[in-house]
Homo-oligomer: A and B are copies of this chain.
Amino acid sequence: MIAPATDSTAYSPRQNAVLDSALRLLVEGGEKALTTAGLARAANCSKESLYKWFGDRDGLLSAVIEFQARKVRVPAEAEGPLDARALTMRLEEFARELLAVLASDASLALNRLAIGQASGEGARLGHLLQERGRRGIGRRIEALLEAARQAGLIAFDEAGEAYATLYGLIVTDQHLRWLLGESPEPRTFDIRAERAVAAFLRLYRR
């Protein structure tokens, strides 16, 4: 049964609390740790309620992803005059945020979950995660790049390609290393962000 991807379904406070427990289990023990019985015990609810609310274990997993995505909504940054210095600072801010998000326990746990699920069965959770997570911040940074181009600060043919380049310079292979179990070192994020933005601007500055 393919769930109709209901965007508007808001969960009750009780259900959100349960999803919070589910996310905690997922972060601490991976997919294997998120069992229906385990979640019922951890959240002090009954298995029957779980199946009533989320229909199915897959529905539960999808709900956890949407639950987290809903929490991450970054506040839209205050717009202001855009000169070279402001652009640099906003790009660096974005880079730091991106690294922090990708390195967070919740993000790593959900990405591991979706990736593990992507084999065999269709990539339902993968698409969901991509759509709910990345698209948001992607749109935001592409808008910033577009504004910078309009202001004559940078030049590119296609915003998507410039964004991909920026992303690659910031993240390199760190995300995969973290997913494979390496521990993030947040102290290094600042310098990574600086270097990546400097390189990006050297490539795209007019």
Which A positions have Cβ atoms within 8 angstroms of B? Answer: 26, 28-33, 109, 111-112, 114-116, 118-123, 126-127, 129-130, 134, 161, 164-165, 167-173, 175-177, 179-182, 195, 199, 202-203
Contact = CB atoms under 8 A, between A and B. Distances in A.
Contacts of A114: 180-181
Given A112-B116, A119-B29, A199-B203, A126 B181 contact: yes
Contacts of A115: 111-112, 115-116, 179-180
Contacts of A165: 169, 172, 199
Contacts of A180: 111, 114-115, 118, 123, 126-127, 129-130
Contacts of A203: 199, 202-203
Given A199-B203, A203-B203, A123 B172 contact: no
A123 B182 contact: yes
A172 B164 contact: yes
Nearest to A192: B164
Nearest to A177: B130
A57 B123 CA distance: 26
29 contacts: A28-B120, A29-B119, A30-B120, A30-B121, A31-B116, A31-B119, A111-B115, A112-B115, A112-B118, A112-B119, A114-B181, A115-B179, A118-B179, A118-B181, A122-B181, A126-B179, A126-B180, A130-B177, A130-B180, A130-B182, A161-B195, A165-B169, A165-B172, A167-B172, A167-B173, A168-B168, A168-B173, A169-B169, A173-B175
